[in-house]
Amino acid sequence: MLTARGVAPEQAALLAAEAEGSPGRALALAGDEEARIRTAVLKALPELGTSDAAVLSALAQELSRGPVEAALSTAAAWYRDVLETALTGDPPRRNPDAAAAVRVVADRSPPARTLRQLEVVCDTIDGLSRNANRVLALETMLLALRALERDDALDVRQGST
């Protein structure tokens, strides 16, 4: 269906994987804005532990101006891929183009932390469905995800001394 609408076969395969079988979602992801948002989210998530608050605030503002659903869907798919890769060793199904980054994060992230991060994303989706402020909800989510990354890094350092 995507290739019939002019989407390159390689891109269509990536979109189909991320959309998890939903043709409507795959078509929405084929748009330029959704692709830009997806790229921004997939670039930011592996680097959360080293990002400062100003960078995360700017990202939240950028994401809030676009299709927030695409950003949150990408984040949820990312954490599902990280969890699945950590538990099974399989390559990511939803973000195969980010396989290397997913593997790095899966190797360093305990499943309990990844589940908590996925829960933070789901809580944000729920909050936005109740008309929460978009920028504030996204900023809170990104800071919470970063805190989880950093707390784990702290625990590892303390355990090795």
CATH of the domain at 120: 1.20.272
**Are 56 and 105 within one domain?**
yes
My answer on whether 36 and 104 are in the same domain is yes
* pLDDT tens per residue across span 93-134: 999 999 999 999 999 999 999 999 999 999 999 999 999 999
Domain ranges, residue 17: 1-30
Residue 113 and residue 145 in one domain: yes
- CA–CA separation, 79 and 21 (whole Å): 18
DSSP single-letter state for residue 50: G
Count up the domains in the chain and report the number: 2
The predicted-structure confidence for 53-97, as pLDDT tens digits, reads as follows 999 999 999 999 999 999 999 999 999 999 999 999 999 999 999
- Please give the single-letter amino acid code of residue 110: P
Q: What is the DSSP letter of 136?
A: H
d(CA 91, CA 7): 24
pTM: 0.77
Q: 121 and 68, same structural domain?
A: yes
Asked if 36 and 107 sit in the same domain, the reply is yes
Provide Rg for the chain, Cα atoms: 16
Cα-based distances in Å from 119 to 35, 113, 122, 141: 24, 10, 5, 10
Q: How far is CA 15 from the centre of its chain?
A: 15
Alpha carbon distance 90, 82 (integer Å)? 10
Tokens, residue 7: 């989407």
